[in-house]
Structure 1
Amino acid sequence: MEIMISKLPRSGQLLLVMMLVLVLAGCGAKSSGNIVEGKVNVVTTFYPIYEFAQEIGGEDVNIINLLPVGVEPHDWTPRSQDIVNTSKAQLFLYNGAGLEGWVPNFLKGLDSGSKVQAVEVSTGIDYIMTDEEHEHDHGGNEEGHADEHADEHGEEHTDEHAGEHADEHADEHSDSLHTDPHTWVSPKSALIMAENIKNSLLTADPAHKEGYEERYAKLAERLQTLDNKFRDELAKVPNKEIVVSHQAFSYMARDYGLTQHAIMGLSPDSEPRGQDLVELANTVKTEGIKYIFFEELVSDKLAKTLANEAGVETMVLNPVEGLTEEQAKNGENYFTLMEKNLQNLILALQ
C-alpha cells in the first residue's frame, strides 16, 4: 500500500490520505453541535478549550466541541461531519504542541472556500521537552505541521504564528525529544491559553469586543485565583513526589514545585517495561509515597498493579482532558476538577 501511494502525485496522495481518515473516523463517536447562522461559530478540539471559549464567548458565539463526552483525546480522530462543520465556522481552536496530530490533514480536507481561522491556543507557553522512552504520536506526527499548513492552505487555514512557532522549535524537535502537550493542566499555562482564545475572538468578531474582554477578565481572575491557590497550598506540603498513570502533569509539576514519576509516557496507551514498574515500585517505597494516581478516562489497571506491588493506595488525579458522562451530568468543569486535584494532592503529599 505504501509503495502504491508513493507513486501517486502529491495531490493524489493527500486526497487518498483524507479518504482513509474519513472512512476510519466514520465509525467513531459523534461530536456534538451544529453550525448556527448569525453567530460566530467556533470549533474546538477538546474540553478545556471548549470551556474557556464558552466562558469568553458567552451568548455571542456558538461552540462546537469535536471530542465527545467520555472520550480520551490522544487517539481520537474526527468524522466527516466535523470537517463539514469546521469548513463553515469562523474559528477552529486547537491545543497544538503535538496533541492533535490529525490537524494538518484535517485542515487540508476543509472546503476550498472555507474562511475558518485555525488558532493554536498553546502558543506562547514555555513548552516542556522530554526524551521519555515511550514515543507519543497523539494520532499523528507534529514535526513539520506548520510547514504543511503553510504549503497547502496559504493564509486562510493557517495559524498566524505557525511559521514563527516552527522556527522557534525546529532545533528542539529531534528523534529523541518530544513536546509535552499537556499545557492546560497547569492553571498558569491555562491563563495563556485563555488569552489566546480571547484574542482570536476579537480578531474574528471585533463587533463584540466589549463582551469578550469583560468575560475574559472574569475567567482570567478565576484562573489567577486557582493558580495562586495551587502555589500557596502545594508550597506547604512536606512531600513533593507524585506517581501518575501517564505523563500528563509536567506543567503542573514544574509550576508548583512537584516531581512527577509516570507509569506510562506522554500517551496513556504507551506500554511500560516490566523493569520500569519494578524501578517505580522501588521509588515509591524509598520516597515514602503513599498514593498512586490514576485517571477516569483511561484504564487504572497498571496504577493498581503498581500500588499493590508497592503496598500503597490509589487516588484520582485528573488531567482534565475531557469529562465522563457522570461528570457532565453533575455539572463538573475545569475549575471543579482542578479543585479536586488540588485537594487530592494535598492529602497524598502529607
Structure 2
Amino acid sequence: MNVRRLIPTAALTAAAALGATALTACSGTAGPAAAEDGKLHVTASFYPLQYLAEQIGGGHVKVDTLTKPGVEPHDLEITPKQTGRLAESDVIFYLKTLQPAVDKAVEQSGVKNVVDAATLTKLEAHSAGGHEKHEGHEGEGHAAEGEGAGHAAEAEGHDHAHGEAGEDPHVWLDPAKYAEIAKGFGAVLEKADPDHAADYRKNTAELTAKLGALDTEFKDGLKNTASRTFITTHSAFGYLAERYGLDQEGISGVDPEAEPSPARMKELQAVAKKDNVTTVFFETLASDKTAKSLARDTGLTTDVLDPLEGITDKSQGADYFEVMRSNLKNLQKALGSK
C-alpha cells in the first residue's frame, strides 16, 4: 500500500517565504506596460493560470498566455520574441517546474512582480501507480487533508518526478487547491493595483465560491460508485483522486508523452480486472494511441478525462468549469455512480 508523501516541512516553509516575497514584490505602482492603456498587464504561463487572472482581474487587467490553445504545455518552447514580450509584463503568473522553458524565460525577463502558483498552495507527490483501497468510502465523501487518504509517489518504477521534491504540479484539478491559488493571486493583484483592490477582492470571493460549489458537486457525485479506480494515460489527477477518495492508475507519469513499460501495461490489465474498471481515459492534447491499445487488450471502452492544460475546439466545454463538469460526468459513468 502506498503512503502519502508530503513535501518536507523545510520545503513548505521555504515555499511560504517565496509566496510572501511574491506578494510583497507586487506592492506599489504597476510597471510601464500598465501606463499605456491603464490596465495591469499579466502574462500567464498556461490556461489554468490565465483563467484565474482573467476572472479575478476582470476589466482592469490585460492577460496574455505563453501557451497557445492546442499546445501541450509540457512541450512548450519559448521564442526570443516571446521572452522579449514577457519582459514587458507588469505581473508574470506561472507554475514553476511544470514548464522548464517558461522557468528559464521568467528568470531572463527581469520582471519584478513574479508569482509562482506553487507558493500559493501545498504541493504533494503522486505517481502513475498510486493505487490504494479506500475502506468505508460509501457515504463518506472526500477524505480530509493530512489524514493519509492520498496516493504517494512511492510506487516502484512509476515515479515521474517534477521539481526537486518530485512534487505533482497539477493542483488546479482539485477545486479546493485551485481556490487557494485564486485567493493568493487575488491578494497579489490587490497589492499591485490598490486603486482596484475592492474589485479584485469581490471577484476573488465570487470565483472561490463557485469553486467551493464545484467541490461539493464532485464530492456528492462521486460519493457512491461501483468502482473507485480509474485508468488514465496522463497521471495528472492525483490531487483530484485524493480529494474524492479515488484511485488513479496512470499509464504514464505526470509527463503525458512518457512511454509505459510492458510490465506497467500488464499490471494495468490486472488492476482493470480486479477492480472492475470499465474505461481507459485519454486527453485532448496528447495522443490516445496507448489508451486505445490498453482498452483493446482488456476489452474496455475509452473516454476523455481532460487535465485542463488548454482549451481547444475539441474540449468538452468552453472554460474551466464546463470541462470540469464534463470530467465529473465521465468519471460517474466510468465508475458506475449510484
Aligned partners of 1:87 and 1:116 also within 8 Å: no
Q: How far, CA to CA, are the matches of 1:89 and 1:223 in structure 2?
A: 28
State how 1:244-323 maps to structure 2 within 5 Å. 244-323=232-311
Please state how far the C-alpha of 1:43 moved relative to its aligned partner: 0.3
Please state how far the C-alpha of 1:115 moved relative to its aligned partner: 4.2
Aligned to 2:223: 235
Secondary structure of 2:85 counterpart: helix
Aligned partners of 2:228 and 2:246 also within 8 Å: yes
Aligned to 1:338: 324
Q: How far, CA to CA, are the matches of 1:247 and 1:105 in structure 2?
A: 25
Please state how far the C-alpha of 1:222 moved relative to its aligned partner: 0.7
What amino acid sits opposite 2:301 in the alignment? E
Aligned to 2:99: 100
Selected match of 2:174 from 186, 195, 200: 186
Aligned partners of 2:94 and 2:117 also within 8 Å: yes
Q: How far, CA to CA, are the matches of 2:230 and 2:250 in structure 1?
A: 8
Aligned partners of 1:42 and 1:91 also within 8 Å: yes
Aligned partners of 1:134 and 1:270 also within 8 Å: no
| Pair 1:51-2:44 in alignment | no
Q: How far, CA to CA, are the matches of 1:108 and 1:127 in structure 2?
A: 22
Aligned partners of 1:88 and 1:116 also within 8 Å: no
What amino acid sits opposite 2:329 in the alignment? Q
- CA deviation vs aligned residue, 1:185-225 (integer Å, no higher than 9, x gap): 11111111111211111121111001101111111111010
Unaligned runs of 5+ in 1: 1-33, 144-172
Secondary structure of 2:100 counterpart: coil
| Pair 1:119-2:115 in alignment | yes
- Normalising by structure 1, we get a TM-score of 0.74
Please state how far the C-alpha of 1:310 moved relative to its aligned partner: 0.6
Please state how far the C-alpha of 1:69 moved relative to its aligned partner: 0.6
Please state how far the C-alpha of 1:124 moved relative to its aligned partner: 4.0
What amino acid sits opposite 1:55 in the alignment? Q
Q: How far, CA to CA, are the matches of 1:115 and 1:346 in structure 2?
A: 44
| Pair 1:109-2:142 in alignment | no
Q: How far, CA to CA, are the matches of 1:70 and 1:243 in structure 2?
A: 23
Aligned to 1:18: none
* Identical-residue share of aligned pairs (%): 34
Structure 1 consecutive aligned stretches of length 4 or more whose deviation exceeds 6 Å: none
Select the structure with the greater relative contact order (CA < 8 A; seq sep ≥ 6): 2
Distance 1:81 1:325, change over 3 A: farther
What amino acid sits opposite 2:64 in the alignment? I
Aligned to 1:154: none
State how 1:12-51 maps to structure 2 within 5 Å. 37-51=37-51
What amino acid sits opposite 1:205 in the alignment? D
What amino acid sits opposite 1:128 in the alignment? E
Tell me the number of residue pairs that the alignment of Structure 1 and Structure 2 aligns.
275
Aligned partners of 1:128 and 1:250 also within 8 Å: no
What amino acid sits opposite 1:72 in the alignment? E
Q: How far, CA to CA, are the matches of 2:111 and 2:282 in structure 1?
A: 41
What amino acid sits opposite 2:65 in the alignment? N
Unaligned runs of 5+ in 2: 1-32, 126-152
Please state how far the C-alpha of 1:106 moved relative to its aligned partner: 1.2
